[in-house]
Structure 1
Amino acid sequence: MGLHTFVFKFPDKELKVDFNYYPFPRINKDRNWQGLAIDSLEDIAANKVHTIAMKARERDFIDLYFIMKETDFNLPRLVDLARAKFDWPIDPVQLG
């Protein structure tokens, strides 16, 4: 997996953008922006669940909280999606 981070500096703020490569199929494959394949919110949420199961960090819990707050996604559904996407056993206890 590859991670490339770019920081764009503006006079009054900074914008950090991470580009990740995952060798796993996307849940929603038809998402793109100006010819660039992008993850759907569902994919991002499944990725967060997988990341938390592998190496829990506060920021990932916060991201997942806000994704779930703004959508109809629930944790059991996201765990199932992450298991299917990554073909990896995820114990819900690790997420708590």
Structure 2
Amino acid sequence: MNTAIYPQTLPPKTAQLFQVLSQTKPEFLSSFYLSGGTALSLQLGHRESEDLDFFTKAPFQPNQIERQLLPYGTLSETELAPGTLNTYLNGVKLQFLLYPYRLIEPLIPWEDVNLSSVIDIACTKLQTIGMRGSKKDFIDLYFLLQQFSLETLLEQIKKKYDESDYSETHILKSLIYFDDAETQPIPRLHQDVSWNKVKETLVSAVKSIPII
């Protein structure tokens, strides 16, 4: 099945870096796939997203990735930890993360970079909101709910994560806790929706789920 891609959701600096990486194919690139908000925006076309979050199931040495990035420009605010590299390259935020969880659907190749599927990203979004609900995550979930019911997403998350990795009850409560997100800026949207509409939709979706 062909997946529509919306490259216009990448701001100029991110688009330029993405193009350079995809064309030059650094050694690490084939082991990682792009996930998170940017991979979702590329497939839904709903908002601008500037960070590049790369996941892999294969153990890697963060300092080796750092060395391979040096020829591409200036690194700043670099943080290294086992299985994790966070940095800014030419002003673009990059994350490389060891992520051992299964993929529900096959990766999607685009411009010689693999993208995580929408349903896999949706599961990760639910888990992320359970830990920290940002405005952009809630907005992402709103647009995901235009394609999938919350019940469907909760069924899919069971396939991706073990029960010990998340709490469905906690996720449902987190989906309607907006206090921390209220003062955060709304990302640049490519499809119109109000913050109030996002909240109303999430509250309605949660109310549709029977809590045992």
Say yes or no: TM over 0.5. Answer: yes
Q: In the alignment, what sits opposite 1:8?
A: 13
Q: Which of 142, 150, 174 is residue 94 of structure 1 equivalent to?
A: 174
Cα separation, 1, equivalents of 2:118 and 2:175: 19
Q: Which of 68, 80, 90 is residue 155 of structure 2 equivalent to?
A: 80
Higher CA-based Rg: 2
The alignment's TM-score, normalised by the length of structure 2, stands at 0.35
Identity %: 31
Cα separation, 1, equivalents of 2:140 and 2:49: 17
Cα separation, 1, equivalents of 2:134 and 2:14: 26
Report the alpha carbon displacement of residue 60 of structure 1 after superposing the two structures with TM.
0.5
Once the two structures are overlaid, the 10-residue window that deviates more, 45-54 or 74-83, is: 74-83
CA RMSD of aligned residues (A): 2.7
Cα separation, 2, equivalents of 1:95 and 1:29: 27
* Structure 2: runs of 5+ lacking an equivalent: 1-11, 16-47, 56-98, 177-212
The alignment's TM-score, normalised by the length of structure 1, stands at 0.69
The answer to whether the 8 Å contact 2:107/2:116 transfers is: no
Cα separation, 2, equivalents of 1:15 and 1:42: 18
Higher share of residues assigned strand: 1
Cα separation, 2, equivalents of 1:61 and 1:9: 22
Cα separation, 2, equivalents of 1:20 and 1:45: 16
Cα separation, 1, equivalents of 2:175 and 2:140: 13
Displacement over 4 Å in runs of 4+: none
Secondary structure at 1:24 match in 2:
coil
The answer to whether the 8 Å contact 1:8/1:15 transfers is: no
Report the alpha carbon displacement of residue 34 of structure 1 after superposing the two structures with TM.
4.0
Report the alpha carbon displacement of residue 24 of structure 1 after superposing the two structures with TM.
1.1
1:1-80 alignment to 2 at 5 Å? 8=13, 16-21=50-55, 22-69=99-146, 71=147, 73-80=148-155
* Matched residue type, 1:18: L
Secondary structure at 1:28 match in 2:
coil
Cα separation, 1, equivalents of 2:138 and 2:112: 30
Question: How many residues get paired?
Answer: 86
